[in-house]
Structure 1
Amino acid sequence: MTSLAPNSRQPTADGSPEARLAQLDQLHPPRPLSPSDREQFLSESHVGVLAVGADPGRPPASVPLWYSYDPGGDVVVNTSVSSRKARLIRAAGAATLTVQRATPPYWYVVVECRVANVVHPSPVPVRRAIARRYLSPEGADIAVDRYDPDDQVLFVLRPQRWHTADFSGPSLPATDRSPEPVSPAQPNKEETGDSHDR
């Protein structure tokens, strides 16, 4: 999958801390990503961190995971139906996914989602498609086939608000940096299959 090209603007040589950080580490003050850039970035094969509300008295649960996303669509994740993560997602009806570029120039995308669909058992073709974003085709098939299909559940997460930062270039003029909501989109039924929420 093609990675987004980092911003190549040169920092100013004014001796300020911002200019020195830009020169030394390609670190500029953050600015929000454009809608097309954030969706393209999310569609790449990053390991995401999913956060979801937890039981009373405990902090939100977070776990790294594989996911699938196509620009303009829903985030799709798969897990064991008996896992704590699955139970918490069902109970909360919402979750937040974070992805980042871990080397300079840094980017991150945080997307708040609501649960739009739950599919159990999880369709094997969708599970294979997720695994093939991260593994070779043969390795993905092996990874998928080692799990009991009846123990797998698919969550379709619809983006509601985006929080993004691009540290690769000079900041844009001041703008409203509040979370940007998105309009509801129709679920992709061809990808997710019919719901069998149990």
Structure 2
Amino acid sequence: MTTKMTADEREQFLAGTHIGVLSVAGAEGRAPMSVPIWYGYAPGGELTFATSPDSQKMALIRAAGKVGFTVQQEALPYRYVAIEGDVVGYEPTDAEEYREWSIRYLGEEAGARFFDGIKGFVSTMITVRVRPERWRTYDFAKEQ
């Protein structure tokens, strides 16, 4: 018996609605930076997330060129997917995509209201694209 997810299971899980935890190598002498973040992913594709171009997070991502990323299910049965991957692109954040993320994470009404309040800021953000290369998974339900 294995507690690892299949390729399809892990991609479907990562494509679900979870708060991700982004990890990137820290500045010299510092521990890695790990921060919660909204993200997008479609099975077989690239992981995407958006951030301010002037943030410490972005500076570390550009320096490292690779990130770690984890999502989990906090209720039984516990599950997680963790990836490591190279950054494969940076692009201006698409406002409609960020609006969709806002609704995905906050619901239709609250997401639309949140997005309307920050849409000017969204136009300054950068979307980072990551190609998942190494996967670690665990599915507690498979232990039973």
TM-score between the two structures when normalised by the length of structure 1: 0.67
**Structure 2 gap ranges (5+):** none
Residue aligning to 1:107: 79
* 8 Å CA contact retained: 2:95, 2:123: no
Whether 1:129 and 2:100 are equivalent positions in the alignment is: yes
Distance 1:149 1:119 in 2: 12
Distance 1:71 1:144 in 2: 26
Q: Secondary structure at the match of 1:82?
A: coil
Whether 1:52 and 2:14 are equivalent positions in the alignment is: no
**Structure 1 gap ranges (5+):** 1-28, 172-198
Name the structure with the higher strand share.
2
- The residue type paired with residue 163 of structure 1 is R
- The residue type paired with residue 84 of structure 1 is Q
Q: Deviations over 1:92-133 (max 9, x none)?
A: 11111101111121111001111111013x110121122222
Whether 1:167 and 2:132 are equivalent positions in the alignment is: no
Give the alignment partner of residue 127 of structure 2, picking from 142, 150, 154: 154
* 8 Å CA contact retained: 1:113, 1:157: yes
* 8 Å CA contact retained: 1:118, 1:153: yes
Whether 1:93 and 2:57 are equivalent positions in the alignment is: no
Q: Deviations over 1:36-66 (max 9, x none)?
A: 0000000110111000011001000000111
* 8 Å CA contact retained: 2:39, 2:49: yes
* 8 Å CA contact retained: 1:69, 1:75: yes
Higher relative contact order, chain-length normalized (CA < 8 Å, sep 6+) = 2
Give 4+ residue runs of structure 1 displaced > 6 Å after superposition.
none
Using the TM superposition, give the Cα deviation of residue 161 of structure 1 relative to its aligned residue in structure 2, in angstroms. 0.7
TM-score between the two structures when normalised by the length of structure 2: 0.90
Matched residue count? 142
Give the alignment partner of residue 113 of structure 2, picking from 142, 153, 170: 142
Distance 2:123 2:142 in 1: 48
Name the structure with the higher helix share.
2
Using the TM superposition, give the Cα deviation of residue 145 of structure 1 relative to its aligned residue in structure 2, in angstroms. 3.3
